[in-house]
Structure 1
Amino acid sequence: MNMEELRSYCLSKHSVTENFPFDEDTLVFKVLDKIFALVPLGKWECGEASINLKADPDYAIELREQHSSIRAGFHMNKKHWNTVFIHEGEISASFLMELIDHSYDMVVKGMTKKLRDSLQ
C-alpha cells in the first residue's frame, strides 16, 4: 500500500479529517477530533514507511508477538499504540486496512455516547 492509497483509505472512513498538528512531517488522521493514525511522511520518502495505530492493549501485545514489523508505538503510549513498519514487507494491504479499522473503532469506542451517536 502506498501513501496515497493509505491516505484515501483513512479519509474514506466516516467523519475523518487530516491535519499536521505537531509538525509539517507528521500527518494525523482524526475521527471527530480524536487521533486514530499518525504517519511520519519523512519516513515514507526515505523508503521506511510506517504508521502509528491505536489497538486494544491485549491485541497490541498479540500483534507485536506475531509480527516482527509491528512494535510498541514510537513516541506513543506503548500500552495502546503500535508502530506498523510497512516497508518491511510483512504487512499486506488488506491486513493494514484491518489494523486501521481496528484503530478507528477503538477511538470511536472510547468516545462519549453523544459523540458516537453523532457519527450515525
Structure 2
Amino acid sequence: MNIDERKQVMILHGNTKQGAEVYFREDWQCHYFSLLGKCFGMMNNEVITLKGNPDENEMLRITYQDVVPGYYANKTHWNSIYLHTTELSSDEIKHFIDLSYALVYQKLTKKEKATITESE
C-alpha cells in the first residue's frame, strides 16, 4: 500500500468514529481529526500524529523506529508515526487512532457526550 492509499484508509477510519470528522485544515496544511472541535489526530504527507498514554508513548518510541515524539505537539502526550512505515501495519495505526479518539472522548463533558450520541 502506498502512502496516498494509507492516508485514505486513515481518513476513512477516522470518519467512522462516533461524532468525529476528518477534514483538510488549510491553515495547518494537514488532515485534522476532530471530535467536537477537539483534536485527536493530525496527518500530513509524511506522518500521522496521535494522542496516547505517556508511558505507552515512550515504549512505542523505544520499540519502533518509525514512532517518534509528536511533531508540533506535546512530546509527552503525542506520537508521530511515519506513514511509510513497514514496522506498523495500517490496522495497527488504526488501533492507535481508536486509542487517541478514546482519550479525547473520555475528557468530554456529559453534555458533549450526549450531543454525540443524540446526533448518531
- Give the superposed CA RMSD: 1.5
Name the CA distance, whole Å, in 1 between partners of 2:39 and 2:95: 17
Alignment-derived partner of residue 22 in structure 1? 27
TM superposition shift of 1:21: 5.7
Alignment of 1:86-101 (within 5 A): 86-101=83-98
* Structure 1 portions without partners, runs of 5+: none
Q: TM-score, normalised by structure 1?
A: 0.84
Q: Percent identity?
A: 26
- 1:11 aligns with one of 12, 15, 19: 15
**Which residues of structure 2 form unaligned runs of 5+?**
none
Greater relative contact order (CA < 8 Å, ≥ 6 in sequence): 2
The code of the aligned residue for 1:80 comes to H
Query: Matches of residues 1-120 of structure 1 in structure 2 within 5 Å?
Result: 2-19=6-23, 20=25, 22-23=27-28, 25-40=29-44, 44=45, 49-120=46-117
Q: Where has structure 1 moved over 6 Å in runs of 4 or more?
A: none
